[in-house]
Structure 1
Amino acid sequence: MTTSSRYPDAQVRRRIVQHTRGTAGHGPITRLMSPSDLGQLLKPFVFLDIFDVSGDGIHAMADMPLHPHSGIATVTIFTEGRVRYNDADNGQGTFGYGGVEWMRASGGVWHGKELIAEEVPRIQGFQLWIALPQDLENAEPESRYIESVGASEDQPARVILGNYQGRQSPVSAPEGVNYLLVTLKPGEQWEYQPPAGHSVGWLALAQGELTAGGIIQAGEMVSFDSSEAPVALQALGQEDAVFVLGSAVPHPHELHLGHYSVHTSRQALAQGERRIAELGMKLKTAGDRRTASGVIPIFR
C-alpha cells in the first residue's frame, strides 16, 4: 500500500548526507555507528550494530560474554528469526519480527545471557544505544520485553520507541525520541514526517533496497541533514525493504565515554562506573547463577 499520495518537492525533501557500511565487529556483528564517530552527530542515538547470524553461528550467540552498561538504554529488535528471553525479574517468552528487548541501564547493569536463539536458519536484527538525559542516566535500571510491537493495517511502520501518527510505543523511552521498524513491499512508497523538533534523522537497511533521494542498499546506514523535512522512501528491486529509522530532538550534552558507558558529564560517568564495579564484585561473589534453561539473568 502506498501511504503517501505524493513525495514532497525536491527542495524540502530530507537529504542524505552520509552513507556507511560500518566496520566488522564481533563475528556476525557489524558496527554501523559508535559514540566516537556518527554518534557524536546523531546523539541521542550513539551506537548501532546490525547482526546477521546463520548456521552454526546461531548457537555461538550463547557465547556472548556478560558485560556492563551505564548511562544508556539499549534497544534490541529482530527483523528475522526467533529467540527466547529469560529474565528472573521479567519472565520468559519468545521474540520474532517486531520483538523488542528494552534495557535502560541507567545507573548500571551487567547482562548478555538473557537471550537464546531458537532452532531457526537465520537470526537478524539491530541493537541500538540511546544516550539518556540527566534525570535518567544514574537512575534505577529498567527492563522490558515486548514479544511483538503491533502495527496498524494502513501503516508499514511499527513504533518501537516514541509516538508516531497517534500510535504510542509500549516502551517508556525518554521524550523526544522515535525509533521505527518498517517493511515496504517492492515498489511501495512511504513518507516519514518527523515530529516537531526532531532534526536528527537516520536510517539503516537490513534487507532489500531503497531510494531516498539516493540509493540505500542492504547493510547500509545513512544519516539525513539536520532539518524537520519529511523523509520520502520507495522500495526498489524484487524483495521487501526492511529497515529501522530514527529521529529525535538533539541531545544537548557532550558525550563522556567509558568502555561500556555514555554519560552527560565526567561526574555522572564516574558514578556509573563505580556502580558497575560494585555490581561486578557482587556478580563474582554470587558465582554460578545459571537457571534450568542455562540463562544467567540480568544482574542489577
Structure 2
Amino acid sequence: MNRTVLSIQPGQPASDGAGVRLNRVFGGLGVERFDPFLMLDEFGSVNPDDYIAGFPPHPHRGFETITYMLEGRMRHEDHLGNVGLLGNGGVQWMTAARGIIHSEMPEQEEGVMRGFQLWLNLPGKDKLGDPGYRDIPAVEIPRIHTAQGVEVVVIAGQFDDGQVQQLGAVQRPNTEPHLFDLRLGAGHSVAPRLPEGHRVMLYVYDGSLQVDGRTVEAGRLVRLSDQGELHLGSEQGANVLLVAGKPLGEPIVQYGPFVMNTREEVEQALRDFRDGTLA
C-alpha cells in the first residue's frame, strides 16, 4: 500500500514581522490537519524591500520554530543572551517552551534571501518547560546521495530508503519530526521510509514532482495519508521539502505567537507578556 494524496494546495501571500513578504504554505484555520505542525512559511526575494525590515523583538510560547536558510544571512538575538548568524544552508532550532523573546534581522542589504520557517508544536507537558536555542551551520547538517543519485539534506529525524540510512542533525521526542530537503535531478526517484501514523507533507519549491500518480508543480503543498510507502519521482527535476511528524492529538489554541491547549493558558500567556514575566 502506498501513501495517497489527500490534498494539494498553493500557499497564500502574507506579511509578518515588520513587513516581510512571505508565502504562507499552511497555517491558521484547520491547522489540526497538519498536527504536530502549526505553520510553514516560505520567504524568497531578490528585492530587499521585501525582507529588510526583518522581525524585530517578539515573543513566543508553547512550540518550536525551525528556520532553514537556503540563501542569505539572518541574525538571531534573544532575551537569554543567545546571538547567532544563520547563513546559506544553515538551520536555527528554537524551543520557545514557557517563553522566549527574540529578533530575526537580515544581515544583508541586497541579494537573495530565501528559506523556510516551520512551527512545530510541543506537547502540553512541555509547553512551560525550559526554552532553548541551537544554531546548526550547513557543515554540521548531513548531506547524502542515494543510489539513484538524489541529494538529501537530513535536517531532522532519520533518512532511510532501504539502502542508505542517515541520522539528521536534530532528534526530538514526542513529535519525532523528520525534515529532509530532497533534491531530485531529471529522471530521479526516491522512496524514503517513514513511520506508520506520521503526518507527511511535501512542499515542492522548485521544479515538478510526481507522487501517487499526480504531478505537483512548484509552490504547491501535498498532504499525504498516514499509512503506506512513499514513492517520489521527477521527470524534469525538483527540490522538495519533506515534513513528517507524529501527531500529538491534543487541543490547539493559538493566538498569534502563543500556542497552548486551552484558551485560559493563552490568556495567561498574554498577561505574562504584558507583565514582563513571560520569559
Normalised TM-score (structure 1): 0.78
Aligned partner of 2:244 among 238, 247, 251: 247
Tell me how far apart the structure 2 counterparts of residues 61 and 168 of structure 1 sit (CA, whole Å). 35
Residue 184 (structure 1) aligns with:
184
Map 1:134-173; keep pairs closer than 5 Å.
134-148=124-138, 149-154=141-146, 156-165=151-160, 166-173=165-172
Residue 54 (structure 1) aligns with:
46
Cα 1:268/1:188, change in 2 over 3 Å: same
Contact 2:155-2:170 at 8 Å conserved across structures: yes
Aligned partner of 2:10 among 21, 26, 31: 21
Tell me how far apart the structure 2 counterparts of residues 230 and 117 of structure 1 sit (CA, whole Å). 42
| Residues 151-176 of structure 1: CA deviation (Å, up to 9, x unaligned) | 12436222222233343333353332
Residue 209 (structure 2) aligns with:
210
Aligned partner of 1:76 among 59, 67, 87: 67
Tell me how far apart the structure 1 counterparts of residues 224 and 244 of structure 2 sit (CA, whole Å). 10
Letter in 2 for 1:31: R
Tell me how far apart the structure 2 counterparts of residues 120 and 205 of structure 1 sit (CA, whole Å). 26
| Residues 46-77 of structure 1: CA deviation (Å, up to 9, x unaligned) | 1111111113336x433433322111111111
Normalised TM-score (structure 2): 0.84
User: Which structure 2 residue ranges, 5 or more long, are not aligned?
Assistant: none
Cα 1:18/1:109, change in 2 over 3 Å: same
3-state SS in 2 of match to 1:76? strand
3-state SS in 1 of match to 2:52? helix
Contact 2:86-2:135 at 8 Å conserved across structures: no
- Give 1:202 deviation, angstroms: 0.7
Contact 2:61-2:98 at 8 Å conserved across structures: yes
Residue 36 (structure 1) aligns with:
29
Contact 2:69-2:86 at 8 Å conserved across structures: no
Tell me how far apart the structure 2 counterparts of residues 75 and 261 of structure 1 sit (CA, whole Å). 16
Map 1:81-100; keep pairs closer than 5 Å.
81-87=71-77, 89-97=81-89, 99-100=90-91
| Residues 202-236 of structure 1: CA deviation (Å, up to 9, x unaligned) | 11111111111211111111101232x12211123
3-state SS in 1 of match to 2:53? helix
Residue 236 (structure 1) aligns with:
235
Aligned partner of 2:114 among 109, 112, 124: 124
Contact 2:204-2:221 at 8 Å conserved across structures: yes
Most deviating of 259-268 and 20-29: 259-268
3-state SS in 2 of match to 1:66? strand
Contact 1:24-1:30 at 8 Å conserved across structures: yes
Tell me how far apart the structure 2 counterparts of residues 163 and 143 of structure 1 sit (CA, whole Å). 21
Contact 2:179-2:241 at 8 Å conserved across structures: yes
Contact 1:101-1:143 at 8 Å conserved across structures: yes
3-state SS in 2 of match to 1:197? coil
Contact 2:77-2:102 at 8 Å conserved across structures: no
Aligned partner of 1:45 among 34, 37, 47: 37
Residue 197 (structure 2) aligns with:
197
Map 1:218-233; keep pairs closer than 5 Å.
218-227=218-227, 229-233=228-232
User: Which structure 1 residue ranges, 5 or more long, are not aligned?
Assistant: 1-11, 283-299
RMSD of Structure 2 on Structure 1 (CA): 2.4
Residue 6 (structure 1) aligns with:
none
Contact 1:255-1:265 at 8 Å conserved across structures: yes
Tell me how far apart the structure 1 counterparts of residues 86 and 92 of structure 2 sit (CA, whole Å). 11
Cα 1:146/1:253, change in 2 over 3 Å: same
1:265 aligns with 2:265: no
Higher relative contact order (CA 8 A, sep 6+): 1
3-state SS in 2 of match to 1:126? strand
